[in-house]
Amino acid sequence: MAAEHTSQMSVDEFETIASAAPETVTLEFIDGRIEVKPMTDGDHNTIVSWLAKRCMQARPDVDLYGTQGLRVDAYRQSRARPDAVLAPEAHFAGHGEWADPAGALMVVEVTSYDSDTDRRSRHEKPAAYGQAGIPLYLLIDRDSGTVTVRSSPDRRVGGYRSIRVAKFGETVPLPDPVGIELDTEILKTYVR
């Protein structure tokens, strides 16, 4: 018999802690656990900047928001802070620190070189984002040198029904509602 999962704290308690945290600490609440999101490095930030330029060149009607907090409530009352969220221009104006994910077109995570990356970026976050109904999850995986595009979210059980993995250097289509292609050759230069 599997052990029942219990949450470390309520969402309200987490939000109180997160709002008091210094700017140098980024907190998330995923699957009932408070997590400290690792600090980014220069390559990580360069990848997010590269992606922002590509998205906005192809789709001037969108913005790529860095670290916008999302209420992914369907997945155990979670609060996630993706590396980036693609949404219509000015979509999050007037929203607080933790916005409803409705209207987000895509969430983006870039792996960090830490021990929690596998659990967090490859398993827990795709489940949460899919259950929240976010159309696309883009994982830029510096460990494996791949780009994973998850689409067709499954709101009932979480995760995504479609998964496409491409190696750095390949052209990666981001299906609708994003509808652009990424030439990922440059990503080879941003890995250790």
Give pLDDT, residue 11: 72
List the CATH number of the domain containing 183.
3.90.1570.10
Secondary structure E strands in 89-143: 98-99, 106-110, 136-141
Please report whether residue 168 resides in a domain: yes
The candidate with the shortest Cα–Cα distance to 165, out of 186, 187, 179, 144, is 144
Is this prediction's pTM over 0.95?
no
Is position 8 within any domain? no
pLDDT value at position 118? 55
Task: Please check whether residue 53 is in contact with residue 46, taking contact to mean a CB–CB distance below 8 angstroms.
Answer: no
| Of 159, 165, 162, nearest in space to 176 by CA | 162
Residues in the chain: 192
**Is the predicted pLDDT of residue 3 greater than 50, yes or no?**
no
Task: Please report whether residue 16 resides in a domain.
Answer: no
* Residue type, position 9, single letter: M
**What are the b/e assignments for 63-79, b being 16+ CB within 10 Å?**
bbbbebbbbbbbbbbbb
- Looking up tokens 């928001």 gives 65
In a domain, 49, yes or no: yes
Q: Is residue 20 part of a domain?
A: no
Show the domain range for 112: 40-190
Q: What percent of the chain has pLDDT over 70?
A: 81
Query: In this structure, are residues 65 and 92 in contact, taking their beta carbons and an 8 Å threshold?
Result: yes
- The answer as to whether 147 is a domain residue is yes
- Mean pLDDT: which of 62-71, 151-160, 170-179 is highest? 170-179
Which residue in 9, 28, 47 sits closest to 120, CA to CA?
28
Sheet holding 136-141, edge to edge: 62-66, 84-88, 106-110, 136-141, 146-153, 160-167
The answer to whether 145 and 168 have CB atoms below 8 angstroms apart is yes
In a domain, 102, yes or no: yes
177 within domain boundaries: yes
Quote the number of domains for the chain: 1
Place of tokens 């790529």: 64
Band of pLDDT at residue 87, cut at 50, 70 and 90: very high
Please give the C-alpha separations between residue 175 and each of 13, 114, 162, in angstroms, as whole numbers.
37, 30, 11
| CA gap 142, 103 in Å, rounded | 28
